[in-house]
A and B are shown apart, each in its own frame.
Chain A
Amino acid sequence: MDDLMAARSQMALSLGFHIIFACIGMIMPFFMAISHYKYLKTGKDKYKTLTKAWSKGVAIFFVTGAVSGTMLSFELGLLWPEFMKHAGPIFGMPFSLEGTAFFIEAIALGFYLYGWEKFRPWFHWFTGVVVGVSGLASGILVVAANAWMNSPAGFDYIDGQYLNIDPIAAMFNDAWFSQALHMILAAFVATGFAVAGIHAWMLTKGKNQEIHRSALKIALTLGAVAAILQPISGDISAKDVAERQPAKLAAMEAHYHTEKGAPLIIGGIPDEENKTVNYAIKIPGALSFLAHGDFEAEVIGLDQIPADEQPPVTVTHFAFQIMVACGMILMLTGITWLFGQWRKKSYIHHPSYLKLIAFLTPLGFIAVEAGWVVTEVGRQPWILHGIMKTEDAVTPMPGIVWSFILYSLIYISLAGIVSLLLYRQIKNLDKTKNEPFASNT
């Protein structure tokens, strides 16, 4: 493994790890606040138990997200100093605002976690909401910084110099809105379905029915609504990418040849040598329609992109297919849940349905990871689209593979411990309150 590959792998691993904790740390507070709201309104103990249980999850995920985020703020420089030297002053605005949001989140979390019976109930509840809102703001700001790498703005690039820097224009680059919207919805979908999945699994075990049912309702309803909205945001993103980064869209779709009325390629195995896709389903004209809103529109293929500026096709294409497939499954499941809730259907209490929800636990996060692979690998070979290549940004220090190994060990052990803690917390929830077997399953 050469240094560039090691650096890219380490970055991918770090981001891939952080995003899970960032999503949960950003969305769980909302679930917690909803449950807390219901407790304050109804005074039912089950909501209090649930709120406290979820807040422990928030504490564990927040700290892991915070330290992995701290690591990332260093890793940007440790791995990509040449990029940061030029990019820092331009795309620093969202990071400096994010610093504030993150700080507020940490303060609010201090109030919330340790504030039971100390503050007036609604003030205490409000600090929980602040945790969620500032977490969401952090997420939007960081994604805006990433969007700038896809859609550089706020400076003039003249003879290798970065001139006339405008940090505000850089922050509000063309991609910030579509990317941030897509990410926030994805975080709701992934966290909603993951939390719902765990509680559905607990429901099939038959313990603490009331608590798990309330939990399922809150998490899955939010996740389902987001899952139904997500394709709309995906469409905005696709049209945006078609406009700004035709190479990325071409790689996502394994669209080798520029053509009018381009087909949508579903599945299949790209053959990079012969520039075709085998075993794929092709829907005529659909790609043209999705990218440009017109079945006859011309879609730029990889043949119009210089060979040394083409992203890896197979990885990007597969990741895109996985993301869309997971998203579709979750959307359909979400529809069944909302319909069942609305019409008070009994199938949503059926053990098989609960098992299905439990089975879908990781799907949202698989989609999130795949989506980040699409956007990051699809941007290659650029670190800053059209301006700086990744290979020119990497640190001059040799032996990055050792760093990659070290970081991998850290992330693997952290993932292990967090899983263990979560498992113990969930088991503990059942030990503390053993309610009689509910009969509605």
Chain B
Amino acid sequence: MFYVVVAFLYVSILFYLLFGGADFGAGIIELFSRGSLKERTRLLTYQAIGPIWEANHMWLIIAIVILFVGFPEIYTFTSVYLHIPLSLLLVGIIARGTAFIFRHYDPVEDYFQKIYNAIFVYSSFMTPFFLGILAGTAISGRIDTEAQDFFSAYIQPWLGWFPVSVGLFTVVLCGFMAAVYLIGEANTVEDRDLFRQKAFRMNMLAVVSGALVFLVGELQGIRLFTELLSHPIGFIAMIAATLALPITWIMLRKKKVYWPRIMVGFQITMILLTLGASQHPDFIIFRNGAISLEGAAAGESTIFSLAMALLIGSLFILPALFYLIYSFQKQPVSVKKLN
């Protein structure tokens, strides 16, 4: 049952990264688009994710609930030492979610639209950035539980080059996912080509920022690569993610729609696996110790009932979610009807 819970935890994190990440990415693409493409991206985003975006963000709730019920030590440890980036993440989540809905449900078109749009695009950037920072800090060993002053206890751990590089990498990955996803959603051939171009650029950025994570890690004494060598699964995952790159390029060149999506999903899964496996069995590493999932797990009765709740829940959630995505893939929301 322990492994059922762990599997659900990783699947929730992965799905949040994939679906929620693509949502964030759409905002990031909008942020870095100019002129009329900005407007078209905005409408396309609504058309593509309108019906499912709420569900996409539920994965975060599931992950958090699993953490605080099943692994309370991890939840409380991060809540205490990463209080500030977690709060900033929350600001991003709340700003983004509300701005996305508000801009479509405000019947009056005035300068408020500009405010909603600005909030939406900047929080779409900020939220995955802080998610990355949190992940980067958790594995960096920068948290000092014996720190004496406010700065070194609550700020220094996450305000460093390594967490920031992971944050940027996460942002770029989200943008990459969204660009690939939007190729298939675009209404015109020109737009498809534009998004394909963006996907290539984002992919280049992803390679650069991914390499940067390793580089900064090495410079800061976080030997990701060395760690990977001693964890074969992580190492294989990294190789697989790298090998998937040229295949993605070929598929993009051949103007395929679904294959690039599958390849991107595969790459993200492999990147998460690389990260998870390289730390195994630890989940959080701090200056003078580490917390593993096994070590932080709640008692047997809690894990059992949590696993049952998750299994039963997924019987309801997965078919419904699948049908939702399927229905709106078949018949997308028409943008005209919104106005």
Contacts and interface: CB of A to CB of B under 8 A. Distances in A.
Interface string A399-441: 1000100100010001001001100110110000000000000
Given A88-B69, A99-B62, A118-B327, A71 B76 contact: no
B64 A74 contact: yes
Interface stretch (B33-41, B51-59, B221-229): B51-59
Is chain B's interface secondary structure helix, strand, loop, or mixed overall?
Answer: helix
A107 B320 contact: yes
Is chain A's interface secondary structure helix, strand, loop, or mixed overall?
Answer: helix
Contacts of A425: 105, 107
A84 B302 contact: no
A89 interface: yes
A42 B42 CA distance: 38
B61 A102 contact: yes
A167 B79 contact: no
A95 B320 contact: no
Contact of A71 (B54, B58, B65, B94): B94
B248 to A, nearest CB: 29
Contact of A89 (B57, B78, B299): B299
Contact of B72 (A73, A86, A397): A86
A417 B61 contact: no
B309 A102 contact: no
Interface size class of A (residues with CB under 8 A): 35 or more
Contacts of B333: 114
B72 A99 contact: no
Nearest to A411: B94
Interface string B54-92: 110110111011101110110110111001001100110
Given A97-B309, A103-B58, A428-B107, A395 B102 contact: no
B68 A397 contact: no
B302 A165 contact: yes
Given A78-B86, A100-B316, A110-B55, A92 B306 contact: yes
B313 interface: yes
Contacts of B306: 92-93, 96, 167
B310 interface: yes
A259 interface: no
A356 B8 CA distance: 52
Nearest to B116: A417
A392 B312 CA distance: 36
Given A71-B90, A82-B76, A168-B305, 16 more contacts: A59-B105, A67-B94, A70-B57, A71-B94, A84-B79, A85-B73, A88-B75, A89-B72, A92-B302, A95-B69, A99-B65, A396-B80, A403-B83, A406-B87, A421-B106, A425-B107
